[in-house]
Chain A
Amino acid sequence: MAQRTRAIILFGLLALAQPALAAEPYVFRFWSELTAEQQKALAPVAEDWNNFPPRQQTRLLKVARSYGKLSATQQQRMQARLRAWVQMTPEQRLLARRNYQKLIELPAQKQVQVKQRWAHIQSEGAPEPEPPETP
């Protein structure tokens, strides 16, 4: 019975901790440890890579994993934006994600309207918000 009790307790605790077992672990990697494909995808942030915390590295590596599946235009866009992206503060990235999530949940017509508004502002020469300096 004692063995059975221990097994039940262990099972319960494992169930509680299950997300940690299922998630990809955060591991610090030096730039030199990345594969050629990862280095190619993340080339714009090569200089800063070794200063990124493991959590940010893990997220960027996941982004890099999809790089090969993107179209040439998407690859170009991603690389052009990556540096500014990592220079944003975590709060700014969170806000950008939230607003992007809201945008993609809008009907297609509304999405076009928002994009047109942004394009209009750009054409009027209003300055784009600058990403903050890296601390």
Chain B
Amino acid sequence: MNEQEFIAKVTEALDEGAGRLTSPTVEALRAGRRRALAGRRQRDAGGAHAWVAVLGWAHHHSRMFWLLLLLAVLLGMVGYQMLNDQDASDLDIQLLTDDLPPQAYLHGDMGSWLNAREQ
């Protein structure tokens, strides 16, 4: 038996099986399918509802919302500066322990030496 014949036999068996299902079983399967589709539609709409609710809250508590947003942005800016500082500390360690003293990097000619790529 080749593949095509095997598929044809399985399909035939399934069709026969489906034909023998009793009416209550068919109805139960149909109800189950309806419930599954309804659940899927609800989940899809859930994300959109959440955003509508957030916008609704922001609209009704606009002063509080803007205050909280401002506070969060300020905290974010301060935090960003603090994280930058921590990165700069790593650079400070390298700078303080490298061959040249830190004052070398303030020398008037240093900028031109560093920018003169082609020499």
Chain A contact residues, CB within 8 Å of chain B:
1-2, 4-6, 8-9, 12-14, 16-26, 55, 58-59, 62-63, 66, 70, 74, 77-78, 81-82, 84-85, 88, 92-93, 95-97, 99-104, 106, 110, 113-115, 117-118, 121, 128-129, 131
Contacts and interface: CB of A to CB of B under 8 A. Distances in A.
A5 B57 contact: yes
B53 A4 contact: yes
Contacts of B99: 115
Given A13-B68, A19-B75, A59-B88, 16 more contacts: A5-B54, A18-B76, A19-B76, A20-B75, A22-B83, A23-B79, A23-B86, A25-B82, A62-B89, A85-B96, A85-B102, A93-B102, A104-B94, A117-B113, A118-B107, A129-B107
B106 A96 contact: yes
Contacts of B54: 5, 8-9
Q: Tell me which of B83, B101, B105 has the highest count of chain A C-beta atoms within 10 A of its own C-beta.
A: B105
Nearest to A102: B114
A88 B103 CA distance: 9
Label chain A's interface by main secondary structure.
helix
